[in-house]
Amino acid sequence: MHCGDGACGTDRSICATQRPMWIVAGTLLVVLGGILLIVFRRPMADLQAMLAGGSITPGCAVAEGIALIALAIVIYVLERGS
């Protein structure tokens, strides 16, 4: 059975079998964003400095990337625990 067969009930938008897939997909997307921030730290720092109006070092972009990766891990662990 899948969601279209009414197996999930009428009040659920995502099947219980599809929820882990979406959690993993969302986690991987956030991790990818963090990795891209780290890889492209110089252009990201320049863009942030241009938008914020100041001087932002590439180290800030690395810290933001690490924070995104840590956030993705926390979200994954909390969602898998519930």
What domain range includes position 72? 38-82
Of 5-14, 47-56, 69-78, highest mean pLDDT = 69-78
Quick one: CA dihedral 82, 25, 46, 38, positive or negative? positive
* Residue 2 located in a structural domain: no
Structure token pair of residue 66: 């690490």
* Residue 81 located in a structural domain: yes
Instruction: Label residue 3 exposed, middle or buried (CB < 10 Å: 0-12, 13-18, 19+).
Output: middle
User: CA 8 to CA 72: how far, in whole Å?
Assistant: 27
Q: Which of the four pLDDT bands, split at 50, 70 and 90, describes residue 5? A: low
Predicted TM-score (pTM) of the model is 0.68
* Residue 28 located in a structural domain: no
Q: Which of the four pLDDT bands, split at 50, 70 and 90, describes residue 68? A: very high
Count of CB atoms within 10 A of residue 48's CB? 15
| Residue, of 16 and 39, whose pLDDT is higher | 39
pLDDT at position 48 is: 83
pLDDT at 37 over 50: yes
* Residue 5 located in a structural domain: no
